[in-house]
Amino acid sequence: MSTDSETSAAAKPSSWRGQAVQLVAIVMAVFVAKGALAEPFYVPSGSMEPTLLIGDALLASKYPYGYGAASLPIQITLPETGRVFGETPKRGDVVVFRWPGDRSQAWVKRVVGLPGDRIQMRQGQLFINDHAATLKPDGLGEAEDDSGGSERAYRYIETLPNGVTHAIFKMRDNGQLDNTPEVTVPPGKLFVLGDNRDNSADSRVAVRDGGVGLLPIDNLVGRADAVVGSWDMGLRSQPVWTWLSGFRLARFFTAVN
């Protein structure tokens, strides 16, 4: 005849095994969700202002462009074998991708050129296949830099030839990247720009110079669909008790356009 203490002792290993199995299942579910559905990312720079601000937390959906090595929630070196269920982004999509210069880094930019497109900047205006993206003045804004300072910027509403509209910043005329040679986007590549046109190392800048160059589609992680949280990084130098005021509640759970 067994005693109560013997029954309790026998039950403990089974209970611990059950909890361990549950924990592993939860970890695997999170891993699969991050790998297959969506993954959070943090915006560390102002290259996508005014669309995205320093301190925004993004949710990137992975399914729109299919899956490849860049889609994994952990970065390991794998041979490039293309993408499963691969789809080409649309012009105007805001995408998260692995920077070609260091695939451990996730960057975010806007797609403006697809394979076969001819892309050129002329006096600060984007041309796609000789069609100008129209610019409509939209007042003034403040472009924040990585150190928490700000600079006055001219705000425009840019309309791409396919009808997609979004806001951009221009801080100066005839900037360093306002006039570029025409580039034909090759197969398997994309041309991406930051919305802060005078402060973005994008496809106008070669990888060797710290830019993106022509972005391989295989480097795509996903489409930036929503800002799920935001905090003003400029408050880092302020007393801790002021930090709560830095939450930009109006940006929580807003769509990325």
- What residues contact residue 10 under an 8 Å CB cut-off, 6+ apart? none
Task: Indicate which residue of 109, 189, 203, 230 is catalytic.
Answer: 109
Backbone angles phi, psi at 214, to 5 degrees: -80, 120
Which tokens hold the place of 123?
A: 């006096």
| Pick from 175, 36, 34, 166: nearest CA to 90 | 166
Report, in angstroms and rounded to the nearest whole number, the Rg of the chain calculated over CA atoms. 23
d(CA 224, CA 13): 45
Residue 135: exposed, middle, or buried by beta-carbon count in 10 A (0-12, 13-18, 19+)? middle
Task: Indicate which residue of 47, 71, 203, 230 is catalytic.
Answer: 47
Backbone angles phi, psi at 98, to 5 degrees: -85, 125
Active-site residue flag, 47: yes
Which tokens hold the place of 229?
A: 């949280």
Residue 75 · residue 13 · CB < 8 Å = no
d(CA 24, CA 16): 12
Active-site residue flag, 150: no
Catalytic residue numbers read 47, 109
